Amino acid sequence: MYTQSFNVQEGAAAVVPAPAANAPSAAQQRFDAKVSADTKIEPQDWMPEAYRKTLIRQISQHAHSEIVGMLPEGNWISRAPSLKRKAILIAKVQDEGGHGLYLYSAAETLGVSRDQMLEALHSGKAKYSSIFNYPTLNWADVGVIGWLVDGAAIMNQIPLCRCSYGPYARAMIRVCKEESFHQRQGYEALLALMRGSKEQQAMVQDAVNRWWWKCLAMFGPPDADSPHSAQAMHWGIKRISNDDLRQKFIDATVPQAQLLGITLPDPDLKWNEERQHYDYGAIDWDEFWSTVNGNGPCNKERLATRVKAHDEGQWVRDAALAYAHKQQHRTQKEAA
């Protein structure tokens, strides 16, 4: 027995005991232990393929939402009612572009390229948030996007700062700080309108009526119909379920609506003493899925604008690349 080890030919494969059927590998066990201990998974760590794919899907969708999200508001930069509002809006839209860039960079650490992600967006294969497929009809819509859309985004994104994947969690810390400013500027713009004329107050109410239900749908389908939630929560990617986040958002928003002096367009919205939460009416999930699947009012326009901006920016990418080559060439020449 003992001498057998000396008989193994040089270069022959070592005899590794076969793992019991379905037993997790050592790498899988290390991964599971890290997730249970709430230690971050980093790009160089081994991770299950399904975890990597889930993160690429979620982070790239999130990045796409940020850059498509620039469009409905960017549309209002030239029409903002004062220099102050214009400056704030330019800064906000620029922040969204920055968020897209951090998030694409975080996704790249998982082995997918920026070109692959953009190709998926531009060809309609990848999703982005349903909320950006609705039109911004007047200035009050811009305030409501800040208050409600960014408000919903923060509610969803604060728990992502504790996501198990390090680069995503770290990107989200900065994103959430900036989103918090976005939400406040939207609320402040609406307060200004509500202190104005009857027409301005009516504009705010109309915008809230159009956006409220769409914002509730942003959190994704009900938990029972969410195919990814259970696994994403098990991996520590998602920390709070779609329905629980939606409820937290409603509970936080009702007092803000009261202070603003507007009515949220839901006759079933009532405080439930027993649950210690607001009850709310039924969300139109057919309308949500139709929008997610490409048939919302602005899907085609948003994608066409995005593709055009990308194509028209080709010369900037070419110039940046040519400059980088020139710098590299110069450094090599100096070193020689």
Instruction: Enumerate binding residues for ligand BYC (CB under 6 A).
Output: 57-58, 61-62, 65-66, 69, 96, 127, 129-130, 149-150, 153, 156-157, 218-221, 226-229, 232, 238, 242, 292
Closer by beta carbon to ligand BYC, 127 or else 174: 127
Look at the chain and count its residues. 336
Q: Which is nearer to ligand BYC, 132 or 201 (CB)?
A: 132
Helices (H), the chain: 4-7, 26-36, 49-68, 70-74, 83-108, 114-122, 139-144, 150-157, 166-194, 198-217, 229-234, 242-260, 285-290, 299-312, 314-335
Decide whether 73 or 266 has the Cβ nearer to ligand BYC.
73
Q: Which is nearer to ligand BYC, 114 or 228 (CB)?
A: 228
> What six digits make up the tokens of 58?
């979620």
Shortest reach from residue 5's CB to ligand BYC, in Å: 50
- Please classify residue 209 by burial: count the beta carbons closer than 10 Å to its beta carbon, then call 0-12 exposed, 13-18 middle and 19+ buried: middle
Is there a contact between 182 and 150 (Cβ–Cβ < 8 Å)? Answer: yes
Q: What does the angle CA 244 – CA 246 – CA 267 come to, to the nearest 5 degrees?
A: 120
Find the shortest distance in angstroms from Cβ 62 to ligand BYC.
Answer: 3
Q: Shortest approach of ligand BYC to residue 273 CB, angstroms?
A: 29
Contact present, 65 and 57 (Cβ < 8 Å): no
Between 227 and 267, name the residue whose CB sits nearer to ligand BYC. Answer: 227
> Nearest 5°: phi and psi at 165?
-90, 115
Nearest position to ligand BYC, beta carbon: 69
d(CA 42, CA 15): 31
Closer Cβ to ligand BYC, 146 or 194, answer by number: 146
Q: Nearest distance from residue 132's CB to ligand BYC, in Å? A: 7
CB 32 within 8 A of CB 24: yes
**Closest distance of CB 185 from ligand BYC, Å:** 12
Q: Which is nearer to ligand BYC, 169 or 201 (CB)?
A: 169
What are residue 165's DSSP bridge partners? 41
Alpha carbons within 13 angstroms on the beta-carbon side of residue 56 total 21
Q: How far is the CB of 256 from ligand BYC (least distance, A)?
A: 17
**Smallest distance from ligand BYC to CB 154, Å:** 8
